[in-house]
Amino acid sequence: MIHQIKTAAARSQETLLGDAVGAAALMVILMGCLYFPGLSQGF
């Protein structure tokens, strides 16, 4: 099973990188959306 995971990871290296960038972008958007309502409280 470890061999299969290593093989799949080696074959889809650029896809994994793109997925990681996409996941990071979604986290930034989520944190921004959660933080945004707090900005209006101060005004």
Answer yes or no: pTM beyond 0.85: no
Distance spanning both ends of the chain, measured CA to CA: 56
Give the pLDDT of residue 20: 92
Angle at the Cα of 34 from the Cα atoms of 19 and 27, rounded to 5 degrees: 10
pLDDT digits (tens, 9 = 90+) for 3-41: 998 888 888 887 888 999 999 999 999 999 888 887 777
